[in-house]
Amino acid sequence: MSEPQPTERTKVNRLAKRGFYDKATIFSILDEGIICQVGFIFNGRPFIIPTAYVRLNDFIYIHGAKSNQMINAINNGSEACFTVTLLDGYVLARSAFHHSMNYRSVVMFGKGKIVEDQQEKINALKAFTEHVMPGRWDDVRKPSEKELYATGVLRFPIEEASAKIRTGPAVDDKDDYELNVWAGVLPVKTMFAEPQRDERLKKEIVEPDYLLNFISSKM
């Protein structure tokens, strides 16, 4: 993928300095996110569906049941819009008007096609699993032929995309800096609690190292 160039749809107009169009920035946000919002048209009506995704090289993959209306609509030619947002902090200003959020986001447009090649499909499903929990794929039963047949995987080229990022403190009106109101940033961080064992799990099975390492990496 060459460096994306802003288009009429992806160019950040308001607060343009927050816009980024290089693939390093776009990829870093996509790789940290887990859920995207997918907008598409089905039977003349707009839909926005949250779903898991994964990036492999210059492509985004999503998956679902082959009978899924999102899978079918996009595979039949409906253009899709993807958004991913990572919330980094609440920005508390001295005035209600200037409250904001620190965030990193990506907007992408594209047309997807269902993956027909069996090995590419398996590679994508492995990537989905590893994106959510690194090390998990080698520990679980792999998809059966029946499960693979029932699952539709869509591939989208990352070609028309942009990132928008806000960082830093509140920006208040000059006179408001004299107000006796607390202002600052409340950082947001994803944390994980103690794993909850499945009730039917064999007693001798303990939490795998990759799970414990994943939890510790988020602390």
Task: Return the CATH number at 80.
Answer: 2.30.110.10
Q: What is the mean pLDDT of the chain?
A: 94
- Work out how many domains the chain is built from and give that number: 1
Classify residue 187: in a domain, yes or no.
Answer: no
Contacts of 19 (CB under 8 A, 6+ apart): 6, 11, 12, 162, 163, 164
Query: Does residue 83 form part of some domain?
Result: yes
pLDDT of residue 1: 53
User: Is 112 part of any domain?
Assistant: yes
Other C-beta atoms lying within 10 Å of the C-beta of residue 196: 6
Residues 12-18: contacts with CB within 8 Å, 24+ apart? 12/162, 12/164, 15/166, 18/164, 18/165, 18/166
Residue 6 placed within a domain: no
Per-residue model confidence (pLDDT) at position 137? 98
User: Residue 209 has what DSSP assignment?
Assistant: H
Residues of the chain with pLDDT under 50: none
pLDDT for the residue numbered 16: 86
